[in-house]
Amino acid sequence: PTNNLSAKMSCPMKNFDVNGVRKDRIVTTSNGYQLNSSFATQRVGEHGPLLLQDNALLDNLAHFNRERIPERNPHAHGSGAFGYFEVTHDISDICGSAMFDTIGKKTKCVTRFSTVGGEKGSADTVRDPRGFATKFYTEEGNLDWVYNATPVFFLRDPSKFPAFIHTQKRNPQTNLKDADMFWDYLTTPANQVAIHQLCILFSDRGIPQSYRHMHGYSGHAYKWSNKKGEWHYVQVHIKSDQGIKCYTSEEAAAIAGRDPDICHRDLFENIENGNAPSWTVSIQTMTEEESKKLPFSVFDLTKVWPQSQFPLRPVGKLVLNENPQNFFAQIEQAAFAPSNTVPYQEASADPVLQGRLFAYADAQRHRIGPNYNQVPVNCPMAKGFFNPLIRDGAMNVNGNFGSESNYYNTNSKYEFLEQSRPIQEHQEIWKGPAIPYEWVTSAGDVDFIQATNLYRKVLSKQDGAQGRLAHNVATHAANCKSTDMQKRVVDMFTRVDQQLGNDIKTEISSINSSNGKPKL
Ligand code: NDP
């Protein structure tokens, strides 16, 4: 199926088709000069040197040099598809966004899945969280849900993000992935807030078999409001209708050699064969009063909301049924940012989310340029956009609003939304001095409780799941050069559960023995 998005490309040339290609298929240089030979180069005689005037060759080679845009720093490696979100349940008491206003309503969307730490060409089957980002082309503007496949994250202070991601990447000297860097960061007392995410990452769910077989989570609390002005904190869960399927570490390592693009292939081929994957979208909601009674902050990205207390409430279905026509144009250039939101869906004060509100759009300005929202996949499709102040800049390709004034003031002709949206009742009130504040200086017991719950109450239900968590941590931490670092890993997981610590210690010791290293 042809992707309708391409049809929206504003191309001034009548002889272009919807994909921006000449209908007559006559090959030209990039300025449209028709070529009469594919590979002929202008030279002096048959075998003499080439001429600088040969624009066809220069055009070809010069553009080739510029084919790559900077890959995303985290989330470089990804796959994606188009589809739709369909409302199945009324949530008008929670959210007034137009995309939810009618049961059965469908909103077109694009979803990009990704790994986090690896480069663009890295293998699909790595133990790494997965990104799960969706852009909805709603009638009220584009809404991006920039989520992950795990419900929590490694940190809750956004200032730590660059340091943390660096430790998941390559050592600056060796240019190798480095287990010591990885565990040095994560076992530092202040950074042990990552323990919950680590227990999920090293559990059976750490390596999804495909993007179709994993869930997505908002992770953060968002603030959604209804048309009466009442608001709730909301967490979104996007649960796979295909069920969860994952690889063991050993299977994943073998597949990384045999078919490193297996998840990409799986998504593309299933959609191509009409086997469209779907997910059930649900929300958890919490009032401000309820949030004050939590044993942790509602803005703490390392915590989940217990489902017995905050049950899942279904909202709709996400279906991906259309492959991109062009991967670079529609997936590599798809630019997701949590700051892209629509009325009645707001960010909360979660500091990591607040940091992301800046960092994501900024990353795309760097990768694609300040006009990245003019790229068709990023354009607000339903009603377009108009803002006479957003002008010029590199790669402005939409006509730049023509002769419209480049400023406005109160008596200018431009219109703003007349009907005001209801003011939210009972706004959060923030007050206090502007001070530098580091949330975590040392992870406390409260930061371990949910990891312990996962280990004892969720994993223990599955045959051998606890042992596999220990095995997955041990085989990774055994790569640390020093036994001191390995001991730090054991000590940290012992705080989750004594048995878990013991199991990790035993297996690291055994691997050390076979590598000629001292036991722990
Ligand atoms: P519940 O028993 O109500 O829910 C357990 C949740 O854990 C389910 O959503 C289940 O997903 C998920 N799960 C099962 N195995 C794993 C795994 N290896 N890694 C990650 N998630 C897994 O429990 P609570 O809400 O009381 O939470 C208990 C623990 O469950 C938490 O401490 C947290 O670690 C984990 N969890 C909780 C979530 C939440 O939103 N409350 C979300 C995800 C995990 P499924 O439905 O697919 O089986």
Query: Cα of 459 to ligand 1 centre, how many Å?
Result: 9
Q: What percent of the chain has pLDDT over 90?
A: 84
CA distance 226 to 232: 9
Ligand 1 pocket check for 203: Cβ under 6 Å: yes
pLDDT of res. 4: 44
With tokens 């992870």, the residue in question is 443
- pLDDT category at 53 given cuts 50, 70, 90 is very high
pLDDT score recorded for residue 383:
86
33, amino acid identity: Y
Q: How confident is the model at residue 1 (pLDDT cuts 50, 70, 90)?
A: very low
**75 an active-site residue?**
yes
Give the pLDDT mean for 175-202: 97
Let me know if 208 is exposed, middle or buried by CB neighbors in 10 A (0-12, 13-18, 19+): buried
The band of 18, judged by pLDDT with boundaries at 50, 70 and 90, is: low
Q: Is 318 exposed, middle or buried (0-12, 13-18, 19+ CB in 10 A)?
A: buried
Active-site option among 75, 77, 215, 264: 75
User: Is the pLDDT assigned to residue 225 strictly greater than 70?
Assistant: yes
- Judge whether 407 is annotated as a binding position: no
Q: Which of 149, 114, 381, 143 is nearest to 279 (CA)?
A: 149
Residue nearest to atom 48 of ligand 1 (CA): 244
**422-452 pLDDT tens trace:** 666 678 889 999 998 888 778 999 999 999 9
For ligand 1, atom 20: residue with the closest CA = 200
Q: How far apart are CA 52 and CA 281, in angstroms?
A: 58
Mean pLDDT of 145-159: 97
Which ligand 1 atom is at minimum distance from the Cα of 457?
Answer: 28
List the one residue out of 126, 496, 113 whose CA is nearest residue 324. Answer: 113
Q: 25 or 359: whose pLDDT is higher?
A: 359
| Atom 7 of ligand 1: nearest residue by CA position | 458
Q: Using a pLDDT cut of 70, give the percent of the chain over it.
A: 94
> ipTM of this predicted complex?
0.98
Best residue among 241, 247, 304 to mutate for probing ligand 1, ranked by most atoms within 8 Å of CB: 304
pLDDT score, position 10: 42
Mean predicted confidence (pLDDT) in 388-403: 93
The residue nearest atom 4 of ligand 1, judged by CA position, is 307
How many Å lie between the centroid of ligand 1 and the Cα of residue 42? 66
Please check the confidence at residue 9 and state whether its pLDDT lies above 60. no
C-alpha distances (whole Å) from 335 to each of 75, 146, 293, 395 are 12, 10, 37, 15
CB-hemisphere CA count at 13 Å for 48?
7
Average pLDDT, the chain: 93
- Helices 465-477 and 483-494, interaxial angle, to 10°? 160
What is the structure's pLDDT at 5? 44
Residue 19 has pLDDT above 80, yes or no: no
Q: Is 330 close to ligand 1, i.e. is its CB under 6 Å away?
A: no
Q: Report pLDDT for 379.
A: 95
Query: Which run of H or of E encompasses 492?
Result: helix 483-494
CB distance 305 to ligand 1 below 6 Å: yes
**Unique residue bearing structure tokens 């030979």:** 37
CA 100 distance to own-chain centroid? 23
pLDDT of residue 2: 37
Assess whether pLDDT exceeds 80 at residue 12.
Answer: no
* Catalytic status, residue 148: yes
Mean pLDDT of 313-324: 98
Q: Which residue has the higher pLDDT, 38 or 158?
A: 158
> What is the pLDDT, as a whole number, of residue 25?
82
Average pLDDT over residues 138-145: 97
Nearest to 352 by CA among 304, 303, 300, 305: 300
Residue 413 pLDDT grade (very low, low, confident, very high; cuts 50, 70, 90): confident
Residues 6+ apart with CB under 8 A from 102: 87
* 219 within 8 A of 480, measured Cβ to Cβ: no
Q: Which of 3, 142, 148, 323 is catalytic?
A: 148
Give the pLDDT of residue 17.
66
Question: In 10 A of CB 62, how many CB atoms?
Answer: 11
Give the tokens for residue 329: 């144009």
Q: What is the mean pLDDT of residues 288-309?
A: 97
Quick check: 11 pLDDT over 50?
no
Q: Which of 208-217, 232-241, 277-286, 461-470 has the lowest mean pLDDT?
A: 461-470
**Contact status, residue 41 vs residue 55, Cβ threshold 8 Å:** no
In this structure, are residues 42 and 36 in contact, taking their beta carbons and an 8 Å threshold?
no
**Whole-prediction pTM value?**
0.94
Contact 446, 295 (CB under 8 A): yes
